[in-house]
Chains A and B, each alone.
Chain A
Amino acid sequence: MTASLKRRDALAAVAGLVLLPPARATPEAMAAAIRGFTGGAPLREGKVQLEVATLVDNGNTVPVTISVAGVPPGEVAAIALFNERNPQSEVVRFDFGPRAAARTVSTRIRLATSQQLVAVARLADGSCWAHRVEVVVTLAACIE
């Protein structure tokens, strides 16, 4: 009797483990990831521009372009992109070297669901600028 109860408990525990949803990024996790990039500097709106379709048909490959305007190119140290509800908050990070020119970068990303994207630019003086875009995703990327 006790043996079967133990077995039942063990099975339940295993089932619980299996049914646990995979870890997801949350707005808090995104804020933490952004803090990791900015080094705690306050995030100001402006200067950086995130271009992405606000209605995304296919979340498997979403073209994004991030640019920084009104700042001499040499003063932009890095650009990063973050998301709110993919399994992981970070998307991509560009660090510029002495040979980089205009601070406009493009790539293609995956989006698991409708969510907010945040592009952050870190300038040489340490200040950080952000642009937030809400996107609606009709077909999610296959991530689960």
Chain B
Amino acid sequence: MARTLITVPSSVRRGETIVLRVLLQHPMESGFRVGADGQLLPRDIVRRFSCSWNGERVVAVELFPAIAANPYLEFSALALDSGTLVFAWEGDHGFQHREQRAITVT
């Protein structure tokens, strides 16, 4: 299981903008580096990330090899109702990871 660091405010007021910060532990091997044996290291990156709030999309992100290791993303969402935030990553070699956070809107 990949480790993640997700910053979500525990409670917010309706109509407020909240900033979400997510970090995933992942090497993001670019596929352009040469290993100790002189061979190209095979690419192993996270290609897609998405965040949804009660099933409605906040953002969908496409990542390329130029994203640094342990991909960090920061974006903001509009607080309309309490519910669940779902964060999902998808990458090379069948990599998949999913996290959920509950959020209360008052």
Contacts and interface: CB of A to CB of B under 8 A. Distances in A.
Given A97-B60, A101-B78, A108 B17 contact: no
Interface string A126-144: 0000000000000001111
Given A91-B67, A99-B56, A108 B76 contact: no
A97 B75 contact: no
Given A102-B76, A144-B32, A97 B68 contact: no
A104 B63 CA distance: 17
B56 A110 contact: no
Q: Is the interface of B mostly helix, strand, loop or mixed?
A: strand
24 contacts: A22-B32, A61-B68, A65-B74, A83-B66, A86-B66, A87-B32, A88-B66, A91-B64, A92-B61, A92-B66, A93-B62, A94-B60, A95-B60, A97-B57, A100-B75, A100-B77, A105-B59, A107-B71, A107-B72, A108-B68, A110-B30, A110-B66, A143-B33, A144-B32
Interface of A: 22, 60-62, 65, 83, 86-88, 90-102, 104-111, 141-144
